[in-house]
Chain A
Amino acid sequence: MPRFVGSDAASLELRELVKRYPGSDEPAVDKLSLEVPAGEICVLVGPSGCGKTTAMRMVNRMIEITEGDILLDGSSVTGRSPAELRREIGYVIQQIGLFPHRTIGDNIATVPRLLDWDKQRVSDRVDELLELIGLDAEMRERYPAQLSGGQRQRVGVARALAGDPPLMLMDEPFGAIDPINRERLQNEFLRLQAELRKTIVFVTHDIDEAIKMGDKIAVLRKGGKLAQFASPAELLMYPADPFVEDFVGADRALKRLALQRVRDIDLWKGVLCKKGESTAEVRARLADADLEFPLLVDDEGRPLGWLSERGLAGERVMADLRSRAEPTVEMDDILRDALSDLLAHQTLYGPVLDDQGRVQGILSLRAIAGALNIRPEDVPDSAEFAARRTSGDPPAATSPVASGTPPPSSS
Chain B
Amino acid sequence: MSADPPLAQVPEGFFTERDPEDLDCVAQGGFCPDWILENFDRYVDPFFQHVYLTVVSLAIGFAIAFALGLLAHRQRWLTGPLTAITSILFTIPSIALFLLLLPLTGRGNTTALIALVAYTQLIIFRNVTNGLRQVPSDIVDAAGGMGLTPMQTLLRVEVPMALPEILAGLRIAASTTVGLATLAFFAGAGGLGAEIESQINFKSNVVVAGGLAVLLAAALDIAVLGLQRALMPWRRAVAA
Which of A's residues lie within 8 Å of B, judged by CB?
60, 62, 83-88, 91, 93-103, 110-111, 114, 142-143, 145-146, 159-160, 169
Contacts and interface: CB of A to CB of B under 8 A. Distances in A.
B138 to A, nearest CB: 4
A88 B148 CA distance: 12
B157 interface: yes
B139 to A, nearest CB: 5
Interface string B136-173: 10111111111111001000010011000000000000
Interface residues on B, range: 20 to 34
Contact of A91 (B145, B160, B237): B145
Given A93-B141, A97-B141, A102-B234, A159 B136 contact: no
A95 B142 CA distance: 9
Contact of B238 (A88, A97, A102, A143): A143
B142 A87 contact: no
Given A100-B234, A145-B237, 20 more contacts: A84-B147, A85-B147, A86-B144, A88-B147, A91-B146, A93-B142, A96-B138, A96-B142, A97-B140, A97-B142, A98-B142, A99-B142, A100-B238, A103-B234, A110-B148, A114-B146, A114-B147, A142-B237, A145-B238, A146-B238
A197 to B, nearest CB: 22
B3 to A, nearest CB: 57
| Closest CB pairs A-B (n = 8) | A97-B142, A87-B147, A91-B145, A95-B138, A86-B147, A145-B238, A97-B138, A143-B237
B93 to A, nearest CB: 40
Given A143-B237, A146-B238, A91 B148 contact: no
Interface in B109-141: 136, 138-141
Nearest to A103: B234
Contacts of B207: none
Given A100-B234, A145-B237, A83 B142 contact: no
Interface of B: 136, 138-149, 152, 157, 160-161, 232, 234, 237-238, 240
A369 B87 CA distance: 75
Contact of A101 (B138, B148, B152, B232): B232
Given A93-B138, A95-B136, A95-B138, A86 B145 contact: yes
A101 B149 contact: no
A87 B240 CA distance: 34
A95 B140 CA distance: 11
B136 A62 contact: no
A97 B139 contact: yes
Contact of A99 (B143, B145, B238, B240): B143
Contacts, number: 76
26 contacts: A60-B145, A62-B144, A87-B146, A88-B147, A91-B142, A91-B145, A94-B138, A95-B136, A97-B139, A98-B139, A99-B139, A99-B143, A101-B234, A103-B234, A110-B148, A111-B146, A111-B147, A114-B146, A114-B147, A114-B148, A145-B237, A145-B238, A146-B237, A146-B238, A146-B240, A169-B145
Contacts of A85: 147
A87 B152 CA distance: 13
Contacts of A160: 146
A92 to B, nearest CB: 9
Nearest to A160: B146
Contact of B234 (A86, A114, A143, A159): A143
A173 B143 CA distance: 16
A84 B147 CA distance: 6
A159 B161 CA distance: 19
Contacts of B238: 100, 143, 145-146
A292 to B, nearest CB: 62
A93 B238 CA distance: 23
| Residue among A93, A100, A110, A145 with max Cβ neighbours from chain B (10 Å) | A100
Contacts of A169: 145
Contacts of A62: 141, 144-145
B154 to A, nearest CB: 13
B43 to A, nearest CB: 42
B240 to A, nearest CB: 8
Contacts of B145: 60, 62, 86, 91, 93, 97, 169
A209 to B, nearest CB: 20
Contacts of B136: 95, 97
